[in-house]
Each structure stands twice: as structure tokens, then as C-alpha cells.
Amino acid sequence: MNSQTLPYTRRDTLRLAALALAASVASCATPPARLSNTPASDQTASALPLVNALRAKNGLPPLKIDTAASTAAVYQARRMADAGKMEHLIGIGDDFGKRVKASGVKLPAAENIAEGQRDVNAAVTAWINSPKHLHNMLGKYDGIGVALAYAPSSGSKPYWSMVLSTD
């Protein structure tokens, strides 16, 4: 058989494969279209006394509510809920620094995430019991934002995000 009798040439097949690969990569980097409709709430006021008590026990100054950090935390909690997974980086090209700076957070900054905890006490306790998250909460930060979002696609599973910021 020659290539003219086949419905697709080898070159056509390679082009289709390249297009399929490009489409799958692009879909990983695309943020969810309905991000803003995901139920989410700012939990900073509830988390702040818990984190500040921890910092006081360790001889550290208290944090204050940072509205930019709260905005960044709400955004990240919604992203995780939309994706249905607990991850700092969601999609190809995601960048923590760029993401939080877009919310007005000054760097350096840190982020703690969690999933499944039903209330702020449980989320903060989970972070305290995790050495890396505890290190962040005891770091040289001035501000905090904490948020909770629910994943409608997974039976309203809770996703938590904490952003720690500097002045």
C-alpha cells in the first residue's frame, strides 16, 4: 500500500499526536473556569488566636490579620477545592511567589495547606503536628490569612489554606 490510499499519512498521525499532547499539557495549566463560585470563607479571625497562642508559647511576637494574605489564602483554598486535591502548585507553570504577589502579599511568605479538617481548631492542630507547617507558623512573619473552601464535587470536602506574610 502506498501512503496515498491510507486515510492518514504518517505525518498526519504525528501532527495529531503532537496536537493531542499540546492540548493535554494546556489543560493542566488552565485554571478552573468556575473558581469564583466555589464556596469559601475567610477563617483568619478564628485561626489568629490559636496561632498567636502557639507563637507566645515559643516567645514570638503575635501575628496580625493581613487582608492580602487572607485574599491569597481564599484563592488557594478555592483552587484546591476546584481541583479536588491538596497541593501547593496546581497545574504546569504555577508559581507560589507570583500567585501570592498577585494578591498583594509581600515576600517572603509561606503557605500551609490541609484537607479534611472540619473546623479551624482541627486544621491548626494538624499544622502544629506537622514539622514543616509548624516551622512556618513559628517563622519570621508578621501577618496571616486563613481560608476554608469546600469541594462541591467531593461531597463538600473542606480544603484549608494559610498564608503567612511579612510587612
Mean of per-residue pLDDT scores for the chain: 80
Distances (CA, A) of 166 to 39, 62, 97, 109, 131: 28, 12, 13, 7, 21
Say if 47 falls within a structural domain. Answer: yes
Q: Pull the grid cell for residue 70.
A: 487572607
pLDDT value of residue 9: 56
Say if 4 falls within a structural domain. Answer: no
Q: What share of the chain is helix, strand, coil (3-state, %, to 5)?
A: 50, 15, 35
Say if 26 falls within a structural domain. Answer: no
Neighbours of 76 (CB within 10 A): 29
- Segment 112-126, tens digit of pLDDT: 999 989 999 999 999
Say if 3 falls within a structural domain. Answer: no
pTM for the whole thing? 0.75
Q: What is the dihedral of CA 133, 135, 139, 141, to 10 degrees?
A: 0
**Strand ranges inside 23-93, DSSP E:** 40-42, 64-65
- Segment 14-50, tens digit of pLDDT: 454 444 434 333 333 333 333 457 778 999 999 999 9
Contacts of residue 99, Cβ cutoff 8 Å, sequence gap at least 6: 72, 75, 76
pLDDT value of residue 153: 72
pLDDT value of residue 131: 96
Question: At 108, which CATH number?
Answer: 3.40.33.10
pLDDT value of residue 85: 66
Ramachandran region, residue 153 (left: φ > 0; alpha: ψ -120 to 50; beta: rest): alpha
Show the domain range for 157.
40-163
Domain count of the chain?
Answer: 1
